Structure 1
Amino acid sequence: MNLNDVSLFIRIVETGSFTSAAESLGIQKSTISRRIAQLEDDLGVRLLQRTTRKLKLTDDGEELFSRCQPLINELETARDQLSATQEDPRGRLRITMPSELGVFMMNDVVSTFMQRYPKINLEVELSTRLVDLIEEGVDLAIRVGELADSSLIARRVAHVSRALYASPDYLKRMGTPKTPDDLEKYECFGQLKAHEYWEFEGWPTAVEVKGHLKVNSIAFAKEMVMQGHGIARLPRVYCRNCVQAGELVEILTDYKCPLIEINAIYPSRRHLNPKVRLFIDHMMEMIVDHPWVTEMMITPASELPGQSPETTLEHH
């Protein structure tokens, strides 16, 4: 029995299909099919029932998976740890993060990480889509905002301050809101969701955002605000220069928006990949020196309120 073939079998079961396993491993689907067939021949049993719609484990497949998954995970962990203890760690590291965070903040982090660890091959996806880390074989996600419940590990790395912004022209035409409730009379740009509510410190109720535009990009929202189309809630660090240049105005300054979190997320189904640890440690080191840090609260792992440095987000 070839352990590499067993590892492929484990990945297929974890991802749910030959196609997903092939994509996560970067190999041909036909190669996986051939090697699983060889594994079944070596064992003399059928492991998977294949249909056009889904895969189903046989009883023998269930037995092999339950016995071998922990062992394969331990072997992979040992391999990664040995790699990380070398003077120049190597291997692949897959990361996903929002586009704006990647372009405007994490670019320096990735660049200096590549210089420090030239033998680690990085695959970075800049996307707003919610990537399934386990199914797609992604090692680390950097996410902004509230986290959905999931069987993942989260490390909070920073809080970002936000505020409401409008252009001088828009405020001249429409007037300046005095309280959060006044926002109901204005065009407010929300996210791509059916209903969105903005909360404010010192204000008893959340305000439902209503407007003719919903976006999933703070860069696009900022551009629409600067062109005088309405009001958006944006990170202060992203708008500071425009405010200083008189292109944007911060409004409702007496009512602060809640801080938004930046979290590092990684799968909890196995021990932490040491390359992920290297990247997170490097990221924390670089963020401290980032020009935006004056308006961002960095959260050292030892100072996270009410949680350990790494928190498991379990299904409820």
Structure 2
Amino acid sequence: MNLDNLRYFVRVVEANSFTAAADRLGTQKSTLSRRISQLEDELGIRLLQRTTRKLHLTPDGEELFERCRPLICKLEDARHGLSVNQPEPQGRLKLTMPTELALAMLDNLMASFMQQYPKIQMEVELTSRVIDMVEEGVDIAIRVGTLEDSSLIAQPVAQVARGLYAAPDYLRHHPALDSPHDLQRHRYIGLLMRTDPLHFGNWDQSHSLQMETPLRTNSLTFMRYMARRGLGIARLPCFFAQPLVESGELEPVLQRYPVPSIALTALYPSRQHLNPKTRLFLDHLHTELQQHPWASNELIQLP
């Protein structure tokens, strides 16, 4: 039995798509189709029922997949373990991350990775939308905050510091802020989420804050802009607010009551057959964020 054909079969079934599997494997869709046909001819059985939209495993195909997938994963792990130490890794690495995170915090990290591995071709989609990583051939997705349950591997890489910020003119024309309780007399610019609770350290959490919220948005950039215009108080990542703090356009408030940090997480489809480029980027992400002034990755362990 041709092991390459068997590997292609396993990857197509995992992706549930010839197109997505071809993208991840760096080959042509027609090549995959031909190689799986060769495997079917070799075995004398039908493995897949193909339609215009979906793939369906035959009973024989399902049995072959369940028996062979662990073996293929172990073989690829062994091959990747040998190739990861090669001097010049190359090939495509596809990432997705939020636009504002990329521009304000991860730009230097991306640049240093590309300088260190010049033969890796980076494809970076800047978006916060929920994507099907397998279907779209994405190797790593970097996300901020609470994640929905999924079959993806979620690797915490840092905790991002946050704080409350407001324009000096806004603070001059509103009541003094001595404790979180005083926020009830202020305007709050929030995120467009199902829940966006405000929590603080060094403060009684039994109090329920009822703040006037004239604006909610899904954009940190817009939140920062509207806070700068004096529309209210915004909770922002420290790295995102710092340039306007330095210019005097925003001021931190209630610093004695720290706002909990927010998780930065790397998602990838499978731990069992992690390709060397993905591993290199995860290691680089972990190393660089250890030194970042606005992030902490204590207790983070890479798999």
Shift of 1:53: 5.3
Is contact 1:14–1:135 with CA below 8 Å preserved after alignment? no
Q: Go from structure 1 to structure 2 and tell me whether the alpha carbon gap of 1:216 and 1:26 turns closer, same or farther (over 3 Å shift).
A: farther
Bigger drift between 114-123 and 17-26 goes to 17-26
The question of 1:103 aligning with 2:95 is answered: no
- Mapped to 1, the partners of 2:110 and 2:199 lie a distance apart of 34
Is contact 2:186–2:211 with CA below 8 Å preserved after alignment? no
Q: How does 1:1-316 map to 2 (within 5 A)?
A: 1-25=1-25, 29-51=29-51, 54-201=54-201, 202-205=203-206, 207=209, 211-290=213-292, 293=293, 295-299=294-298, 304=299, 309-310=301-302
Q: Go from structure 1 to structure 2 and tell me whether the alpha carbon gap of 1:256 and 1:7 turns closer, same or farther (over 3 Å shift).
A: same
Shift of 1:271: 4.3
Is contact 2:162–2:259 with CA below 8 Å preserved after alignment? yes
Is contact 1:83–1:90 with CA below 8 Å preserved after alignment? no
Shift of 1:182: 4.4
Is contact 2:20–2:134 with CA below 8 Å preserved after alignment? no
Root-mean-square deviation (Å): 2.9
- Mapped to 2, the partners of 1:160 and 1:30 lie a distance apart of 44
TM-score between both structures, scaled by the size of structure 1: 0.81
Is contact 1:197–1:208 with CA below 8 Å preserved after alignment? no
Is contact 1:154–1:310 with CA below 8 Å preserved after alignment? no
User: Which residue identity does 1:217 align to in structure 2?
Assistant: S
Q: Deviations over 1:87-137 (max 9, x none)?
A: 222233222222222222222222222222222222222221234444443
| Secondary structure at 1:121 match in 2 | strand
Q: Deviations over 1:191-240 (max 9, x none)?
A: 23233211112131454676343333322211121122222110122222
User: Which residue identity does 1:44 align to in structure 2?
Assistant: G
Q: Go from structure 1 to structure 2 and tell me whether the alpha carbon gap of 1:127 and 1:33 turns closer, same or farther (over 3 Å shift).
A: same
Shift of 1:258: 0.7
- Mapped to 1, the partners of 2:187 and 2:152 lie a distance apart of 37
User: Which residue identity does 1:254 align to in structure 2?
Assistant: R
Is contact 1:163–1:257 with CA below 8 Å preserved after alignment? yes
Is contact 1:94–1:123 with CA below 8 Å preserved after alignment? yes
> What is the aligned residue count?
301
| Secondary structure at 2:193 match in 1 | coil
TM-score between both structures, scaled by the size of structure 2: 0.84
Q: % of aligned pairs identical?
A: 50
- Mapped to 2, the partners of 1:112 and 1:24 lie a distance apart of 24
- Gaps spanning 5+ residues in structure 1: where? 312-316
- Mapped to 2, the partners of 1:131 and 1:43 lie a distance apart of 36
